[in-house]
Structure 1
Amino acid sequence: MNKCKRTVSWIIMMGLLMTVLLPVTPVYAFSISDLLGQTTGSADSGGATSMSTGNGLMNTLLGLLLGSFLGNISGSPSSGTDKGSSDNSGLNPSAKELVGFYAEWWGEDTSSYNSMIKNADTIKTIAPFWATMQADGTVTDRGGSDHAKVVNAAHQQNMTVLLLVNNAKVENGVTPVHTVLANPALRTKAIDSFEAYIKKYNLDGVNVDFEMVPAEDRDNLTAFMRELYARLKPQGYTVSIDIFPKQNENSDVAAAYDYAGLAQYADKIMIMTYDNHGTWSGPGPIADIRWVENSLKYALDFIPKNKLYLGLAAYGYDWSANGTQSLEYKQIMELAQRYGQSVEWDDASQSPYFSYTTAEGIAHTVWFENSESLKHKLTLMAKYDIAGAAMWKLGEEDPASWPVFRDKFGK
């Protein structure tokens, strides 16, 4: 009997000592009573519950021991803050991803490939522009360099490769993307074509780049992405889509993109926050920072931030009475040098530009993106803590952008 009393006393003393010495344990998604198969706390608490005082000293001791043990094996900080929580105070920002759009404009165009290889320490995903969806649901190859070579080189550098598929343009009054999206059988055929192409070249998924989609196909586009996602996602493929920016639902050019609906059926959503001015407009910023931020804020009302990627331009436009021409950064700098023009900076839009006049007396205005303007765009990525950025396209960019990118995206 005395031995029993001594044992009980020893247990009580140890319990009190452990209660004093053990650190406060983090709160987990499950409670100790869940592990023990017991019911504790009130049924209507709606979350973490306190342990019932009627469960006895042994449950308290066991709870403390289990809590301490689980805290140690989980590696969780003593604050109990979930790494994925929206509260990022005191934590490093989540890793960001740089997606590089990849295109070859002629057979020997290696600019995207060279940029990919040179900056493999920073690029996490490429989206090669290799395929176009036709009105009959088939996919035609756009040609370019050896696809297998590009895919193998990217995979060797631990990059993900997503097939970029665009839609054939309107011809003779026929809108191919409408023809496919409005017909369930053709949607299935197109998805078959996507899947076959991805498997043929050992790709990691798809990037749907359907542009100028008629507003009437809003629900059809969402249905297509739902069906595509149901086909590819269970096989482990990544499904992504490019969307036009907008700041309300009245914009005809972007009305077909149901942000909330598409977000359910895409792993990555690239918002094309460029071409604020272009071939259809007068001279102006390629991506006015105010327009970019407003478009981003609107998208975040419907799209989870961990799926959203900010579109970056690597190019510029040259406007004149002779028309508008798209130029890569290298060509733009050659123009400025040839005509002895210094690059100016527009504070309001945070964009570079300059003007020049040819020997024939034709006035030109050039707006473009460079490392400085891209740096400002990336502050928005950090400010709104979105998944990353996607640049159109590799090989056209200001070389000075890469130190900026490495600071934000380096692997």
Structure 2
Amino acid sequence: MNKYKKLMSLLIMTVFTITIMLPVTPAYAFSVSDLLGQTTGSNDSSGLTNMGTGKGLIDILLGLVLSKFLGSAFNSPADGPTKDSPANGLSNALSKEFVGFYAEWWDTDVSSYNSMVKNADVIKTIAPFWATMQADGTINDRGGNDHASVVKTAHQNNITTLLLVNNAKQDSATPPVHTVLATPALRTTTINNLEAYIKKYDLDGINIDFEMVPAEDRDNLTAFMRELSARLKPQGYIVSIDVFPKQDESNDVAAAYDYAELAKYADKIMIMTYDNHGMWSGPGPIADIRWVENSLKYALKYIPKNKLYLGIAAYGYDWSANGVQSLEFKPIMDLAQRYGAAVKWDDASKSPYFSYTSNDGTAHTIWFENSESLKYKLALVTKYDIAGAAMWKLGEEDPAFWPVLRDKFLKK
């Protein structure tokens, strides 16, 4: 026993010396739980009061090392794994993250802002849609409210902010996104401009939302994300990307997203599992649960689950002979009330819908998302143990979303 005591004393002094020499970890980049690769499984925070201090880190490291040492020193080989040990397949899962896409369609549009502030106890990250990439690599600011104030408010509420940048729409035979992605010099110019933008507004990283990327640019998109990651990640910035859902590689509109390669460079990948039906189709579910699950299962073949976020819609579409109109939840409910339409439930797709005839005699059909359909989407987050969910967009949602989201994503 004297030999063990001497070894324990030496071990304690060694760990203590190493610990006090460790660099301080920035609060915005990591937590102690991240560093140790585990969290507690309890809601009891009494044991976490010193987690942000050097003493807390020392206690944890000593506890881990000594428990391992003492187990080796005093347990006989016959002692099998305890019921709580990893050998029995039990581990503590990381908490899930809720991401809110954020947009301002006009200067006085504060719907996303109000939703963010009201639900800051749930939202861990916002991705403000403030920028558009042009064919020459310049980044156009989309306007909206005072960006700096939004970022300041988000940070005061412990909400990470990622710049959402999309690509300019095609206005000629050559899509602007192809011009940039296929030209190394323009990729560098774009990355320079994106870096300058996120630094200007003290953002925490970036969310790439390049859509309708030509299939021929599959490798070019990967190269862009590799170069963007190499520039931003060493500086502590988060790199994320939104991708179209698919269930095989024959889907032309999603072919440019090389899931496996993108997962090497992106910290977060948001799969846009909505618009199952939309502007280009006849009436139908916004996010048929069967289509959503199959898309998620396919993505998980290539993307680590701790990087994957399920896209959640907060809106609906109104189909009629006059075209298709995107609507937020409140106007949808207003229409149902105005025309006395009963909301129905499609059990196969787990989606609500209704039909009505407007005053001019035009027949309309609306499919949308509500708190009930949301529950089935969030069940997939749990079932497949993915990183979380990302909703388009804050301010459009059913108010009853939030009690459901709070059960799943309440920030500790």
The AA in structure 2 aligned to 1:143 is G
What residue in structure 2 maps to residue 154 of structure 1? 154
Deviations 1:264-315 (A, max 9, x none): 0000000000000000000000000000000000000000000000000000
**How do 1:184-203 and structure 2 match up within 5 A?**
184-203=184-203
Distance 1:81 1:323, change over 3 A: same
Q: Distance in 2 between matches of 1:339 and 1:221?
A: 47
Tell me the secondary structure at the aligned position of residue 264 of structure 1. Answer: helix
Give the alignment partner of residue 81 of structure 1, picking from 69, 80, 85.
85
Shift of residue 80, structure 1, vs aligned partner: 6.7
What residue in structure 1 maps to residue 134 of structure 2? 134
Distance 1:88 1:343, change over 3 A: farther
2:123 corresponds to 1:119: no
The AA in structure 2 aligned to 1:304 is P
**How do 1:169-318 and structure 2 match up within 5 A?**
169-318=169-318
What residue in structure 1 maps to residue 36 of structure 2? none
Q: Distance in 2 between matches of 1:399 and 1:186?
A: 43
Distance 1:70 1:156, change over 3 A: farther
Shift of residue 174, structure 1, vs aligned partner: 3.0
What residue in structure 2 maps to residue 100 of structure 1? 100
Shift of residue 173, structure 1, vs aligned partner: 2.2
What residue in structure 1 maps to residue 13 of structure 2? none
The AA in structure 1 aligned to 2:208 is V
Q: Distance in 2 between matches of 1:403 and 1:376?
A: 14
Q: Distance in 2 between matches of 1:140 and 1:265?
A: 25
Gaps of 5+ in 1: 1-10, 19-62
What residue in structure 2 maps to residue 24 of structure 1? none
Q: Distance in 2 between matches of 1:347 and 1:66?
A: 51
Which 4+ residue blocks in structure 1 deviate beyond 4 angstroms? 63-66, 69-72, 77-80
2:379 corresponds to 1:379: yes
Shift of residue 78, structure 1, vs aligned partner: 5.0
Deviations 1:18-59 (A, max 9, x none): 9xxxxxxxxxxxxxxxxxxxxxxxxxxxxxxxxxxxxxxxxx
Q: Distance in 2 between matches of 1:350 and 1:390?
A: 19
> TM-score under structure 2 normalisation?
0.81
Using the TM superposition, name which of 342-351 and 172-181 deviates more. 172-181
Q: Distance in 2 between matches of 1:71 and 1:213?
A: 59
Q: Distance in 2 between matches of 1:207 and 1:356?
A: 38
Aligned length: 346
Distance 1:78 1:248, change over 3 A: same
Tell me the secondary structure at the aligned position of residue 302 of structure 1. Answer: coil
What residue in structure 1 maps to residue 353 of structure 2? 353
Q: Distance in 2 between matches of 1:226 and 1:379?
A: 33
What residue in structure 2 maps to residue 54 of structure 1? none
Q: Distance in 2 between matches of 1:272 and 1:71?
A: 52
Distance 1:64 1:133, change over 3 A: closer
What residue in structure 2 maps to residue 23 of structure 1? none
Using the TM superposition, name which of 353-362 and 203-212 deviates more. 353-362
What residue in structure 2 maps to residue 68 of structure 1? 70
Deviations 1:80-114 (A, max 9, x none): 735xx9x864x554310000000000000000000
Gaps of 5+ in 2: 6-64, 75-80
> TM-score under structure 1 normalisation?
0.81
Deviations 1:315-359 (A, max 9, x none): 000000000000000000000000001110000000000000012
Distance 1:78 1:355, change over 3 A: same
Q: Distance in 1 between matches of 2:312 and 2:73?
A: 42
Distance 1:69 1:347, change over 3 A: same
Q: Distance in 2 between matches of 1:79 and 1:402?
A: 36
Shift of residue 360, structure 1, vs aligned partner: 1.6
Q: Distance in 2 between matches of 1:140 and 1:200?
A: 14
The AA in structure 2 aligned to 1:238 is I
The AA in structure 2 aligned to 1:375 is K
Distance 1:99 1:70, change over 3 A: farther
Q: Distance in 1 between matches of 2:291 and 2:167?
A: 26
Q: Distance in 2 between matches of 1:301 and 1:389?
A: 18
2:388 corresponds to 1:388: yes
Q: Distance in 1 between matches of 2:359 and 2:408?
A: 43
Deviations 1:61-86 (A, max 9, x none): xx9997217999xxxx955735xx9x
Tell me the secondary structure at the aligned position of residue 68 of structure 1. Answer: helix
Distance 1:71 1:409, change over 3 A: farther
Q: Distance in 1 between matches of 2:93 and 2:288?
A: 25
Q: Distance in 1 between matches of 2:277 and 2:268?
A: 25
Distance 1:355 1:92, change over 3 A: farther
Distance 1:344 1:69, change over 3 A: same
Q: Distance in 2 between matches of 1:289 and 1:220?
A: 32
What residue in structure 2 maps to residue 344 of structure 1? 344
Q: Distance in 2 between matches of 1:245 and 1:65?
A: 45
Deviations 1:222-253 (A, max 9, x none): 00000000000000000000000000000001
Q: Distance in 1 between matches of 2:182 and 2:362?
A: 46
Q: Distance in 2 between matches of 1:64 and 1:221?
A: 48
Structure number with greater Rg is 1
The AA in structure 2 aligned to 1:81 is S
Q: Distance in 1 between matches of 2:163 and 2:143?
A: 13
- The percentage of counterpart residues that share the same residue type is 74
